[in-house]
Chain A
Amino acid sequence: MAASPDATGTRPANVLRKAVVIGGNRIPFARANGAYTQASNQDMLTAALDGLVARFGLQDERIGEVAAGAVLKHSRDFNLTREAVIGSALSPETPAYDLQQACATGLETVVGLANKIKLGQIDSAIAGGVDSASDAPIAVSEGLRAVLLELHRAKTVQQKLTTLAKLRPKDLAPNAPDTAEPRTGLSMGEHQALTTAAWNVTREAQDELSLASHRNLAAAYERGFFDDLMTPYRGLAKDSNLRADTTLEKLAKLQPVFGKNLGAEATMTAGNSTPLTDGASAVLIGSEEYARSNDLPVLAEVVDSEAAAVDFVHGKEGLLMAPAYAVPRLLARQGLTFADFDFFEIHEAFAGTVLCHMAAWESEEFCRNKLGLQKPLGAIDRTRLNVNGSSLATGHPFAATGGRLVATLAKMLREKTDAESRPTRGLISVCAAGGMGVVAILEAN
């Protein structure tokens, strides 16, 4: 029987509803080749999901949709998120999809699923991300791959032998993954070193930001801030990159690792750059009605988001500068200034990245020439920046960082709103490979 156009149903009205962050869970992040060496992306994502399920009692529940992704991904993981869902305590009838947008993967899963909720297509969702630098895929060389494919097509023994004869010793060396940009051949650190030098960001300023990140993260653990944001995994109960006792003196002793051939002083060290990290995160989002009818808390609303990209290939802009463009566009659309924000969560790919973004927003020249603004956006209040630590201290499992940021900020906003009985607002900014950036606004009231 065909449905008539005026049949009663639950067809979504053309009115957007709110999408809210209910809570989050991540496993502690581990430095590569550490506690999670033997864990695959699927293992870690499943663990992050199971911790979330346990925290909110979602066992056997059919969630509207789960989206997650990984940046370093094996070809066998073509359905990574769905496989993790099947292995988790969620209902096996929960659909899932993979998403990949470099380091913005995690934040983009939140944005995409929040939009589906706002449209009334789904009531609940889990957004997440995972990455393992330890269990990274290693691919065969292009030469070997071409020969193997041709061998598969060969029909006669002679054809097969001819094909095999094309193999050269160098073809047997595997291709290990790296963080080099395909179009420039430069690593992300070398790219950032160019930008850091261009903006004259000092070594001291970078080390200070790194110190603040470690101190803030240590303090957050100390007061139990992560008790309901994290579930230990494989014996690890805290981010293994955290150096609670680090000092400016210790950071100052580290040798520079990036930008050593730029002519200018090299300022980027292992202390003010994020290490390769393993980890996973997950965020539960839903409509207000879903949260209410399931007796779930509401932390914050996912208000809006903006993506940007820059032309780093032709040297017009630094590789990781896209957020400097995305943020002003988002503020303009929402009619907001920096003064309207209680918290800023700016992903610390490198201390220099954060400092370059902030320098750009304070620069009259940048804001006029690149953004077309009459006056600069202004300075960000440092007391509102990454107040519970960020990637320099936690580490940065690429696709897992977005979920960490969203859950952390949502909880901070809820606490501040409850304590001060007023609405609060926070900004998230994530830079990504390929010259991209994704930023988003959360609000609590």
Chain B
Amino acid sequence: MADRYLDLVNAGPVKSLAKKLGLPQPAVLRRYRPGAPVLPGPVLVLGSGSGADVLAKELLGWDLDVRRHVAPKERLGGIVLVLDELAAPEELADPMLTAGSSLRDLAPGGRIVTISRPATGTGQPAQAAARQAVDGALRSLAHELRGGATGNGIVLGEGVDAGAPAVLGALRFLLSGRSAYVNGQFLLVGSGVASLPANPDRPLAGKVAVVTGAARGIGAAIAETLHRDGARIIAVDVPAAGEQLAQVANRIGATALQLDITAADAGAKIAAHAAERNHGLDIVVHNAGITRDKLLANMDQAKWDSVIAVNLASQLRMNEQLLASGVLREAPRVVSLASTSGIAGNRGQTNYAASKAGIIGMVRASAAAFADAGGSINAVAPGFIETAMTARMPFVTREVARRLSSLQQGGRPLDVAEAVSFLASDAAGGINGQTLRVCGQSMVGA
């Protein structure tokens, strides 16, 4: 539904009034448009190591103006802090303060991305401290950004260089408008095989994707976004939602498959459809989900069981059947919908939060099996998204939920779909078993 407050504070006298009164000032986010530049201005690459040099060179190839030093008063599209060689906490000051001196020059919708390495339990304590410090610094910085700008980080796994295709794929996603509602998050990029698309506006060209729960809301947006990015879609929803499903399918040239995903043979039926109609399957998006909210004291067995059956058990079964079916082609990618409720918990949602936390565990534990198949499995955890479901929330609850993030607004189904499309692409091949939050840096469960 429309966020009238956001519209009001972005135009006319209300804009200055809201500023004077110190009211929240949610910005109109910079969202991806095919053909648009990756960033709305030059990119400043900070860092002195070889990784910074490599990345600066790659960014030049994206038609970006690349700066290696601060030029006062120049409007910047983004700042990349390359911190992969940090050895001690003291080394963090210079790049952070340099970035800080440029924050006022950051354009609306600008991007800050850190490149760092994970603080593991082994190695030098000083190094681990420095690496972990990046986490706190970046998340705090993201809270400070205004004008729809965001800050996120890429964490390089063992043996992964800053210039690896998997890193470039993640960097392009985080700099571009595709990540508009992703804020304060870290993506761990491992050694899985990634490849960058020949055409960055068609990263899923030639792919076949099945999207469950595609009849409306976030599922419909995912189907449309994957189609925009080049994939052929098999749109799945329950038979009762068939009318809306057909409309979505006919908008994007998809096939509509009416199917109850909790049926024992749902995965086999999807596999059979994909084999017959598309000669194979590359991408599976487990989006279908339900809520049956009740305080645990009032929860009955049916409400608990149906949520677990639809949101979690069906996905486990379908993944098993799809892996065994032989229909999955080279580099299969699965993206599951989790939720910030599964991370932070939510009153009245013990069943739902259990199912969504279960998804996070499922993708982590399934990563090895999909890596063996040359592919990946990840989750996206949406925060407050403007859908028919959240439109039914009480007014005050909805307004509070909207403003309770760094971006001070709800996300759109499209924002979730962009993250799904990225994780479903071969450019994200280095990301496996992860859960990416699309929540505008929501304060809950942060």
Contacts and interface: CB of A to CB of B under 8 A. Distances in A.
Interface of A: 47, 50-51, 53-57, 59-60, 89, 224, 226-228, 230-234, 237, 295-297
A295 B277 contact: yes
Interface in B220-273: 235, 239-243, 245-247, 249-250, 253-260, 263
Nearest to A53: B250
Nearest to B265: A224
B82 to A, nearest CB: 46
B372 interface: no
Contacts of B246: 50-51, 53-55, 231
B4 to A, nearest CB: 30
Given A228-B258, A295-B277, A295-B278, A57 B243 contact: no
B254 A231 contact: no
Nearest to A294: B277
Nearest to B253: A59
A59 to B, nearest CB: 5
A56 B255 contact: yes
B276 interface: yes
A3 to B, nearest CB: 36
A55 B239 CA distance: 12
A232 B255 CA distance: 16
Contacts of A54: 235, 245-247, 249-250, 254-256
Contacts of A237: 239-240, 242
Given A224-B260, A295-B276, A231 B253 contact: no
Interface string B195-228: 0000000000000000000000000000000000
B104 interface: no
B279 interface: yes
Nearest to A226: B239
Contacts of A232: 239-243
A187 to B, nearest CB: 35
25 contacts: A51-B242, A53-B246, A53-B250, A54-B235, A54-B249, A54-B250, A54-B254, A54-B256, A55-B256, A57-B277, A59-B250, A226-B239, A227-B239, A227-B258, A230-B242, A231-B245, A231-B246, A231-B258, A232-B239, A232-B240, A232-B241, A232-B242, A233-B243, A237-B239, A295-B278
A60 B250 CA distance: 9
Interface in B50-106: none
A57 B255 contact: yes
A233 B258 CA distance: 14
Contacts of A228: 257-258
A228 B240 CA distance: 12
Interface residues of B, number: 24
A182 B392 CA distance: 55
A268 B250 CA distance: 44
Nearest to A221: B239
A234 B247 CA distance: 13
Which of A57, A228, A233, A297 has most B Cβ within 10 Å?
Answer: A57
A55 B276 CA distance: 13
A124 to B, nearest CB: 16
Contacts of B276: 295, 297
Contacts of B250: 50, 53-54, 59, 89
Given A54-B245, A54-B255, 5 more contacts: A50-B247, A51-B243, A57-B253, A59-B253, A224-B263
Contacts of A53: 246, 250
A54 B242 CA distance: 10
Nearest to B241: A232
A60 B259 contact: no
Contact of A230 (B235, B239, B253, B259): B239
A408 to B, nearest CB: 16
Contacts of B245: 54, 231
Contacts of B277: 57, 295-296
A280 to B, nearest CB: 13
A227 B259 contact: yes
Contacts of A47: 243
A59 B249 CA distance: 9
Interface string B274-286: 0011110000000
Contacts of A57: 249, 253-255, 277
Contacts of B254: 54, 57
A55 B255 contact: yes
A296 B273 CA distance: 10
A418 to B, nearest CB: 11
Nearest to B259: A227
A50 to B, nearest CB: 6
Contacts of A295: 276-279
A381 to B, nearest CB: 30
A156 to B, nearest CB: 56
A228 B253 CA distance: 18
A398 B240 CA distance: 25
A231 B260 contact: no
A60 B278 contact: no
